[in-house]
Amino acid sequence: MDKELERYKQFLKEKGLKTTSQRLAIFKVLASEPNRHFTAEEIYEKVKQRWPEIGLATVYRNIQKLSELGLIDKLNLDDGFVRYEIGDPDRDKARHHHHHLICLDCGGVFTFEDDLLEQLEDRIRETMGFIVSDHEVKFYGHCRACAQALTGE
């Protein structure tokens, strides 16, 4: 995470942006739990523990910037909130292979790495002339724990 923090500061400098403590705090929250998918409000609550005077608008503004810089990814579960997770340092390659599994029972979000879609993208280019540059894949279903709880009863 220290490495990521340095990378973040580097990015900021390159873009002529300032390294404020709020900005760093927000980044740290995201980086501290790489597998969690935070809501803007959740980030706000988390940052407020250390930084009680921070405003929600600041969180939103920084999330947006982080997203523009490509350091965090958006995830929309269609429940009215946009969620954010820290991106993989080796991101261009990583994001493409990173899918989300969403449990319909407990609401948990899991990630799954795979590159099978590459073939599909080739096929799309061949048949449709559509050049894929990115994708978003969500699988809905039942996670191991919930599936077992169901069959176990």
Partner DNA sequence: GTCCATGCAAATGATTTGCAGTATC
Partner DNA sequence: GATACTGCAAATCATTTGCATGGAC
Contact 83, 37 (CB under 8 A): yes
Residues 60-89 that bind its own copies (CB under 8 A): 74, 76, 78, 82
Binding residue for DNA (CB under 7 A) from 20, 113, 125, 136?
20
Number of Cβ within 10 Å of residue 108's Cβ equals 13
Q: Are 116 and 137 in contact (CB under 8 A)?
A: no
80 conformational bin, left if phi > 0, alpha if psi -120 to 50, beta if neither: left
Phi, psi of 134 (to 5 degrees): -160, 165
Residue 22 found at the interface with DNA (CB under 7 A)? yes
Asked if 124 is part of the footprint of its own copies (rule: CB under 8 A), the reply reads: yes
* Site residues, its own copies (CB under 8 A): 74, 76, 78, 82, 101, 103-104, 110, 112, 114, 116-117, 119-121, 123-124, 127-144, 147-148
* Site residues, DNA (CB under 7 A): 16-23, 39-41, 51, 53-58, 60-62, 64, 80-82
